[in-house]
Structure 1
Amino acid sequence: MNMIYFRLFYSNKKLLFVAILLTFFAGFGKTFLFSLYIPDMIKEFQLSTTGFALIYSIATITSGILVFYLGKLIDQTKIFTYSLMVAIGLVVSCCLLSFSYNLVLLFIAVLGMRLSGQGLMNHTSLTIISKRFKRCRGKALSLAIIGTPLGEAILPLVVAWGVHHYGWRPAILYSSMFLAIVLIPAIFLLKQKNKVIEKFPGTKPKVKTQHSNKKWTIKKLFRDQRFYLVALPVFLLSFLVTTLMFFLVPIAKSKNCSPELIAFAFPFFASGNFIATFFTGNLLDKISGTKVFPYFLWPFAMSIITLLYVNHPYAIFGAMFLAGASVGSGVTLESCMIAEIYGLKSLANLKSVFTSITILSTAIGPLITGILLDAGITFHLIFSVLILFIGLASLLSFKLQDEKIQLSFSKFAPIKTVKKLLIHK
């Protein structure tokens, strides 16, 4: 990390500090933390694994649909008010989960945590940064996203300790209290006027944002072929990482990994995420995102290959590091690509669409994989097919560099896009 990052953070410390906290605490709505509560929840509510997975998937899909509508409100609301409502939503949802004694309250609490945590907190943080920063947008996004790997490295250890010593209900209740004490007061920093300072030596942008004055509606977005070229890899990344996390224990045990070894793999995932986030952010301030975007899924393909073909228990460390690298690059690239291709005028509106895609893929991934496993299909075959999908998504996204496709519209964009890409003269 060069000195520009330190100068950028110091000059915009209040805004970036809140953005980091939002991505950090978004972990309370993500699968990697929910997995620590699930065994005790299943036992207490007398549910089968499939039964809880169904509740979790329906709540996730519902939250994805709600984000589609609620996410764009950030364009119409003050940043402070919107961020505060999202934070309060997560606090209330965590508190409600700790006092849920029937399936209705359980569903509402899980929905609230998935919506406000995984969905709106990341969306709020990255939208604020993408809108406020121009010259150093890539670097600023890298700093904001740092909360994600920090959460992945710290929160599981703290929550696991709390669940072990106090039980899952007190652990969630204490989490909600911690959120209320730390996050909500910090959000009041957004109420102050935070002038963005990003003009430093060596920060002149080499990438120009396109269509910055054009207003994009959802209808126009769905008719734009570039949307599908960006959406497919974004969908695939969330599908892959959620599936890997959901089935990490059985996959790791097939490699003779102990529970302790599996727990120690998460810091490697966070490290890969951390390093790739800063590397990608720095790169995006120098070259166009369309030139980087086709490659961000490649480390995940290498991660899957490592899990499939390397039988040593320590292979899980390398696999998790590579998976984390794809996540770090992908999250940074997604926000930059939307701003670079579609401009800033309708940023929150468009970002809400991609956030919904991400959330829906996290619901579909474990569900489809579970059905295939129940049908007798092996992990090896499932992940081998996913590698082929990574290759296809990567090849298709190279077409984002083609100027001829940049402004083409049609009523049947997905079909015509595939035809143009596969039958290219």
Structure 2
Amino acid sequence: MSFLSLLRRDRDVLAFGFAFTFASSLGQTFFISLFVPSLSQAVAVGEPLMAVLYGAATVASALCLPALGRRLDDTDLLRFSVWVLLALAIGGLVLATATQVAMLAAGLFLLRLAGQGLMSHIALTGAARFFEEHRGKALSLTGLGHAAGEGVLPLTVVVLIAWLDWRWAMALCCLVLAGVIAPAAMALVRRNAKFRCPLATLVGVESRKRASSALLSDPEFWRLLPLLVASPFTITALIFHQGWLAGSLGLPLAVFAAAFVGFALIQAPTGFLSGAVVDRIGSRRVLQLHVAPFIAGVLLLAVFGNGWAVWAFLALAGVTNAAGALLRTSMVAELVTPDRLGAARSLVSACMVVSTAAGPAVYGLFIAAGLEPPAVLLTAALSLALCVLPTIRWRKLFRV
């Protein structure tokens, strides 16, 4: 089935997924970072403390994600969505009115948990369990919301901050995304019992409780996990330290900022291609190959370190980022039954979120140790390549 045929057949479900991944932008790093200077000034904290608070909120949200995410297996999807939207809106409004460190920490936690964590979890888990036959294509269409948010919201937010003030800008974004777009999408699937249905109610409570433990006891999961989290760990770390990279390479930071256009634009076609290939050959082979473009981009930046290498680096990072976002759902969906998908995917998402919090800190240690950009980038490329090795079935590879 083609993408257009799938869109025509299940446009309401796909529109719901797109809207929720788009609205999850409220909790994504690229969105929150636009308000960091204003938040630091309003709450009278320096950016180093802001980074600590942000990392702590990210880790705390990741620790909560498995316990909350598994509820999607035994709760009506729309009822669950209402509570998540409420938490997302409260988090945004708390940040928009923050005057104290406690308010700042609470707002960051709610945005990271409800936005980056649960909004994406609802959209991708819902699509993965509803579309068993064309899962890859459906996940790529659902994930377009992430790319749309990265492409549309940064400039929009900058304009709103200049026009209205940062507090009103954040409040307006929360109102539109969490108060209008996402609820409108929920109305589209209100009568779709199959999409809303908590599949785990059909298999019993004990089966649901075993979902995460079964995944944790599966050796296959542990072989795949490093590769599932390697790209977000490394991409987040290198983008977080882009100012150091630019300065050390003798480039203006504006080069990196402009190159993010390539990072955003490449993700839509990559998502389409990855979804079609996953449907054809399965997730494992695509998982093993999906870090290759990013490794190539890292090596180009390490060797050349000029403006066009930055564009290549971020464009190829976008390819890996888009494919990885799809694979973290499709791969898990191939390891567990649909009734356990919510618990299993939330566990993987928690690992991914922790990796994005740890990445900047780990690479910060490399920088503090005095490593130059080529050494840091070569370390990144090597670590990504090493994560592929456990996923290779060596006995099958060398079987005569």
The question of 1:346 aligning with 2:340 is answered: yes
Q: CA deviation at 1:402?
A: 6.4
Match of 1:264 among 258, 268, 281: 258
Does residue 306 in structure 1 map to residue 305 in structure 2? Answer: no
1:292 aligns with 2:292: no
Q: Could you give the per-residue CA deviations for residues 2-58 of structure 1, whole angstroms, max 9, x where no partner exists?
A: x81111112111111010011112122111122211122223333233211110111
Alpha-carbon distance between aligned partners in 2 of 1:71 and 1:45, rounded to the nearest angstrom: 32
| Aligned position for 1:205 | none
Q: Of the candidates 137, 140, 147, which is equivalent to residue 138 of structure 2? A: 140
Among 270, 275, 282, the alignment partner of 2:269 is: 275
Secondary structure in 1 matching 2:392: helix
Deviations 1:336-385 (A, max 9, x none): 11111223231111001001011111111112222332343334323322
Conservation of the 8 A alpha-carbon contact between 2:53 and 2:105? yes
Report if the CA contact (8 A) 1:12-1:194 is conserved: no
Deviations 1:273-325 (A, max 9, x none): 21211111001111122222111111111121122222321322211110010
Deviation at 1:256, TM superposition (A): 4.7
Alpha-carbon spacing, 1:276–1:194, altered in 2? closer, same or farther (3 Å): farther
CA contact (8 A) 2:26 2:174 kept: no
Task: State the alpha-carbon separation in 2 of the partners of residues 270 and 47 from structure 1.
Answer: 31
Aligned to 1:78: 76
Equivalent AA in structure 2 for residue 104 of structure 1: A
CA contact (8 A) 1:71 1:349 kept: yes
Which aligned pairs between 1:4-403 and structure 2 lie closer than 5 A? 4-179=2-177, 180-193=179-192, 217-399=211-393
Asked if the contact 2:42/2:98 (under 8 Å) is kept, the reply is: no
Q: Which amino acid in structure 2 is aligned with residue 190 of structure 1?
A: V
Q: 1:402 to 1:91 in 2, by over 3 A?
A: farther
Distance 2:349 2:383 in 1: 21
- SS of 1:369's partner is helix
Answer yes or no: is the 8 Å Cα contact 1:234–1:334 preserved in 2: yes
Alignment check: 8 A CA contact 1:32 1:245 kept: no
Equivalent position SS for 2:192: coil
Whole-Å separation in 1 of the counterparts to 2:344 and 2:194: 25
Q: Which amino acid aligns with 2:233?
A: F
Query: Do the aligned residues in 1 keep the contact of 2:127 with 2:135 (CA within 8 Å)?
Result: yes
3-state SS in 1 of match to 2:281? coil
Q: 1:331 to 1:165 in 2, by over 3 A?
A: same
What TM-score results when the alignment is normalised by the length of structure 1? Answer: 0.85
Instruction: Report if the CA contact (8 A) 2:260-2:314 is conserved.
Output: yes
Conserved 8 A contact 1:272-1:323: no
Change beyond 3 A, Cα 1:403–1:70: farther
Matched residue type, 1:49: E
Which amino acid in the other structure matches residue 34 of structure 1?
Answer: I
**Amino acid of the structure 2 residue aligned with 1:346:** R
Aligned-residue offset at 1:94:
0.7
Shift of 1:172: 0.7
Question: CA-atom RMSD, angstroms?
Answer: 2.3
Q: CA contact under 8 A between 2:248 and 2:373: conserved in structure 1? A: no
Q: TM-score under structure 2 normalisation?
A: 0.91
Aligned with 1:345: secondary structure? helix
Give the 3-state SS of the residue equivalent to 1:346 in structure 2. Answer: helix
Contact 2:42-2:99 within 8 A present in 1 as well: no
How many Å separate the matches in 2 of 1:170 and 1:250?
32
- Bigger mean CA offset, 313-322 vs 367-376: 367-376
Q: Distance in 1 between matches of 2:42 and 2:303?
A: 38
Structure 2: distance between partners of 1:324 and 1:19 = 20
Distance (whole Å) between structure 1 residues aligned to residue 70 and residue 79 of structure 2: 14
Choose 357-366 or 44-53, whichever is displaced more: 44-53
Report the Cα distance in structure 2 between the residues aligned to 1:259 and 1:378, rounded to whole angstroms: 17
Structure-2 change in CA distance of 1:398 and 1:164 (3 Å): farther
Distance across 2 between alignment mates of 1:17 and 1:334: 21
Q: For the Cα contact (< 8 Å) 1:131–1:347, is it kept in 2?
A: yes
Q: Distance in 2 between matches of 1:273 and 1:236?
A: 18
Partner deviation per Cα, 1:161-190 (whole Å, 9 max, x = no partner) = 222333322211111111212222322222
Code of the residue aligned with 1:188 in structure 2: it is A
Of 32-41 and 327-336, the range deviating more from structure 2 = 32-41
Aligned residue for 1:286, secondary structure, equals helix
Structure 2's unaligned 5+ residue stretches are 196-206
